[in-house]
Amino acid sequence: SRKSKFSEENLLQQLLDGNKTALGRAITLIESNQFSHREKAQQLLEGALPYSQKSIRIGITGVPGVGKSTFIESFGSYLIEKGKKVAVLAVDPSSSVSHGSILGDKTRMENLVTEENAFIRPSASGSSLGGVAKKTRESIILCEAAGFDVILIETVGVGQSETTVHSMTDFFLLLKLAGAGDELQGIKRGIIEMADAIVINKADGDNIKAAREAKLEFNRALQLYPSKESGWKPKVALSSALEQIGIDSVWKLIKEFEKLGKENGFFLKNRKEQNKFWLLQTINEHLKNRFYQNPVMKNELKIQLKAIENNKVTAFAAADLLIKKFENLA
Ligand code: GDP
């Protein structure tokens, strides 16, 4: 209809005006796999890009049940009280299988969703983490262009998703629980290395003593890690997302981190490095899709997989043959 065409033409302007409905529609557009939407989405992104970059992007990870959504609810509300506009996005590696295990549930973040200055977007669906990640990254740009100045990106501590979120955020926050067994052994070393802060959540009630001990232990452990390029020494903090304790000190840490990074140049350097990384990622993803979604290659791949199963060919010879076939198609 005329009316929807009219508003679609103005989508970018409405987005820049901070209209949340427009923002939601813009994200839907970039998430669309429909070919006809792609050009429009690209234009929108290009239009939004000059107005982005002004936010702080915070990654939040932790195992299911650690209190991520409760923390985001408290933290987000705290920031809104301070006059911030807060967007919450999610990278969920399982969403393509389970149709959204994080942020999909509308009952989470009950208060935050009602705030005028909050925008919450359930995780994008996609056939690959790479695809979901690309959409999330583009969504960050759209949120920033719409005036959101704190972007929280949640992910479940599964597989590669933390690395992905780390590669699109300025600050990486790991939520942990005290007394959840082997404090230090149970964690993947890589995640600790990525963390700019470890926040021990549920530091309330009977848990306080254990939380304090865990804090000491993490602090001790962090001493053993090499210093970071950012010049930032990762911090350990306590929080009760439920009772809204320690939330302000987490924000204080993030502000300190930002100040240091802007003084020593790391903040912007890191974003540039991330942009380069995402250029390469986007090319990789695109090439991969072209290969695997090509009907000819799908068939050829099937044949070679069968040949390998029957010991007719080595993996390398089969790969070589497939790549040559693909190159001849292109
Ligand atoms: P998520 O799976 O990481 O998003 O965790 P949720 O935010 O859904 O929290 C899981 C459970 O832990 C819920 O029952 C919360 O009420 C509870 N919870 C979250 N934060 C706290 C906290 O700071 N203290 C206590 N005691 N419980 C909490």
- The per-residue pLDDT for range 77-88, each reduced to its tens digit, is 999 999 999 999
Residues of the chain with pLDDT > 90, as a percent, come to: 62
192 and 198 in contact (C-beta within 8 Å)? Answer: yes
In CATH terms, are 1-50 and 52-264 the same topology?
no
Kind plus residue range of the DSSP H or E element containing 97: helix 95-98
With 50 as the cut, is the pLDDT of residue 5 above it? no
Q: Transcribe 40-72 into DSSP letters.
A: HHHHHHHHHGGG-S-SEEEEEEE-TTSSHHHHH
Q: Which token pair is 248? A: 């302000």
| Residue closest to 90 by CA, chosen among 143, 44, 45, 54 | 143
240 and 201 in contact (C-beta within 8 Å)? Answer: yes
Distance 70 CA to ligand 1 centre (A): 6
User: Average pLDDT in the 131-135 region?
Assistant: 83
- DSSP state letter for 109: T
Give the pLDDT score at 2.
43
Ligand 1: which atom is nearest the Cα of residue 108? 8
Give the pLDDT score at 94.
63
Ligand 1: lining residues by beta carbon, under 6 Å? 62, 64-70, 201-202, 204, 240-242
49 and 140 in contact (C-beta within 8 Å)? Answer: no
200 and 167 in contact (C-beta within 8 Å)? Answer: no
CATH annotation of 52-264: 3.40.50.300
For 1-50, the fitting CATH number among 3.40.50.2000, 1.20.58.100, 1.20.5.170, 1.10.40.50 is: 1.20.5.170
Which residue among 158, 242, 247, 250 has the greatest number of ligand 1 atoms within 8 angstroms of its CB, and so is best to mutate? 242
Distance 188 CA to ligand 1 centre (A): 22
- Reduce the secondary structure of 165-230 to three states and give it as a string: HHCCCCEEEEEEECCCCCCCCCCCHHHHHHCCEEEEECCCHHHHHHHHHHHHHHHHHHCCCCCCCC
Edge-to-edge strand ranges of the sheet holding 86-91: 118-120, 86-91, 150-156, 56-62, 171-177, 197-201, 235-238
Give Cβ neighbours of residue 50 (< 8 Å, ≥ 6 apart).
none
Q: Where are the domains of the chain?
A: 1-50, 52-264, 294-329
What are 7-55's pLDDT values in tens digits?
566 899 999 999 999 999 999 999 887 878 888 898 899 999 988 878 9
Q: How far apart are CA 161 and CA 247, in angstroms?
A: 25
What are 163-184's pLDDT values in tens digits?
888 999 999 999 999 976 555 5
With 80 as the cut, is the pLDDT of residue 237 above it? yes
Q: What is the ipTM of this complex?
A: 0.99
User: Average pLDDT in the 194-201 region?
Assistant: 94
Q: Which token pair is 166? A: 């780390």
Q: Which residue's C-alpha comes closest to atom 22 of ligand 1?
A: 202
